[in-house]
């Protein structure tokens, strides 16, 4: 079997077009314009490129969009004051602090300072807790993107055996939590593997849906995958440089071998990656609607 590719670029484009229409509708009917601020501290090149992409997308969708660049040596107190300013700004519905922050700033303290209603990354403990009890306002962006890829590719999630490799707070734990909720597009039986798992292949071979977020190239080989499984590769590993000077990327799955066994698979790049920013935009639209009391 050669797997069908799950095209994250196409699905992200489709969702962005839906959001663009929704933004027009919100403006025309309610005079509401979703507002997003991205706060960047310092000039880390990867962070600069992520923030630039988020800003570009938010402008394309018609948001009120603010990019707030702060110097590397901003103090923790100054950053907390800045967040407080945006917490109180009625034009801003979503606050995104680009991570990582410089070492002299306590990241947890900063993320906890964001008003949970404006926490469009879904990392505040209030939002993590709401996800846990099935009452989420905002799903964290990468896991939300994975769920959308599955739903929009017509994958049967309800009742499926889902195995997640990785238990980070930003991917592994939240995607497991999302897919085990007794809700539409979820209601799966979920297993989480990590470095303490005794026999990982025993678990991965049972998976109807295998989601891999380990950050280890080729951690999943063909012998670890069930015939016909759906494989979602979240990993982004830099394994060199292309002839035109760009980073050469690979996922956590041995793509060439596994695609002969799976029924569907995400490529890297072009699978999960394009969905993350799109879900940030979806959360910001939702934040604007919640703020305005629109259902």
The contact set with ligand NAP (CB under 6 A) reads 142, 165-168, 170-172, 193-197, 200, 213-216, 219, 234-237, 272-273, 276
Closest CB to ligand NAP among residues 79, 220: 220
3-state helix, strand, coil in the chain (%, to 5): 40, 15, 40
Structure tokens at 97: 């602090």
Angle ∠(238,240,242) on CA atoms, nearest 5: 110
121 included as an active-site residue: yes
Closest CB to ligand NAP among residues 8, 35: 8
The Cα–Cα gap between 18 and 252 comes to 31
- 98, 147, 148, 181: the catalytic one is 98
**Residue 202 Cβ, how far from ligand NAP at the closest point, in Å?**
13
**Residue 214 Cβ, how far from ligand NAP at the closest point, in Å?**
4
Closest CB to ligand NAP among residues 40, 171: 171
233 included as an active-site residue: no
**Residue 280 Cβ, how far from ligand NAP at the closest point, in Å?**
10
3-state secondary structure of 164: strand
Identify the burial level of 217 via C-beta atoms within 10 angstroms of its C-beta, where 0-12 means exposed, 13-18 middle and 19 or more buried.
Answer: middle
Phi/psi of residue 169, nearest 5 degrees: -75, -20
Distances in Å between the alpha carbon of 21 and those of 28, 93, 285?
A: 11, 18, 11
> How many residues are listed for the chain in this entry?
295
Distances in Å between the alpha carbon of 284 and those of 20, 27, 32, 121, 293?
A: 12, 14, 12, 9, 14
Closest CB to ligand NAP among residues 157, 176: 176
**Residue 252 Cβ, how far from ligand NAP at the closest point, in Å?**
6
The Cα–Cα gap between 133 and 129 comes to 6
**Residue 8 Cβ, how far from ligand NAP at the closest point, in Å?**
9
* DSSP-derived secondary structure for 215-240: --TT-B-GGGS-TT-EEEE---EEEE
Q: Is the dihedral of CA 202, 205, 210, 216 positive or negative?
A: positive
Q: Quick check: 266 and 3 in contact, CB under 8 A?
A: no
**Residue 267 Cβ, how far from ligand NAP at the closest point, in Å?**
11
Structure tokens at 256: 């060439």
183 included as an active-site residue: no
- 117, 118, 119, 121: the catalytic one is 121
Q: Which residue is nearest to ligand NAP (CB)?
A: 168
Closest CB to ligand NAP among residues 34, 145: 145
Closest CB to ligand NAP among residues 98, 142: 142
Query: What are the catalytic residues?
Result: 54, 98, 121
């Amino acid at each position: 079997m050669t797997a069908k590719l799950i095209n994250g670029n196409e699905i992200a484009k489709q969702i962005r077009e839906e959001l663009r229409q929704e933004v027009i509708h919100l403006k025309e009917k309610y005079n509401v314009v979703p507002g997003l601020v991205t706060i960047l501290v310092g000039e880390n090149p990867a962070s600069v490129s992520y923030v630039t992409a988020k800003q570009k997308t938010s402008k394309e969708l018609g948001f009120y969009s603010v990019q707030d660049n702060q110097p590397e040596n901003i103090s923790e107190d100054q950053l907390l004051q800045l967040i407080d300013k945006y917490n109180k700004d009625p034009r801003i519905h979503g606050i995104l602090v680009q991570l990582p922050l410089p070492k002299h700033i306590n990241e947890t303290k900063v993320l906890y300072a964001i008003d949970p209603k404006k926490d469009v990354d879904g990392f505040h403990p209030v939002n993590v807790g709401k996800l846990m009890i099935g009452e989420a306002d905002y799903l964290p962006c990468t896991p939300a993107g994975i769920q959308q890829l599955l739903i929009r590719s017509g994958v049967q999630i309800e009742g499926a055996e889902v195995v997640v490799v990785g238990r980070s707070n930003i991917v592994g734990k939240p995607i497991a939590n999302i897919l085990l909720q007794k809700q539409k597009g979820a209601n799966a039986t979920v297993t989480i593997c990590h470095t303490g798992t005794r026999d990982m292949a025993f678990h991965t071979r049972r998976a109807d849906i295998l989601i891999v977020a380990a950050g280890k190239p080729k951690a999943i080989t063909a012998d670890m995958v069930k015939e016909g499984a759906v494989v979602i590769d979240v990993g982004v590993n830099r394994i060199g440089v292309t002839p035109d000077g760009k980073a050469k990327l690979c996922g956590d799955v041995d793509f060439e071998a596994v695609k002969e066994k799976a029924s569907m698979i995400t490529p890297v790049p072009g699978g999960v990656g394009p969905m993350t920013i799109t879900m940030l935009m979806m959360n910001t639209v939702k934040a604007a609607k919640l703020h305005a009391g629109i259902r």
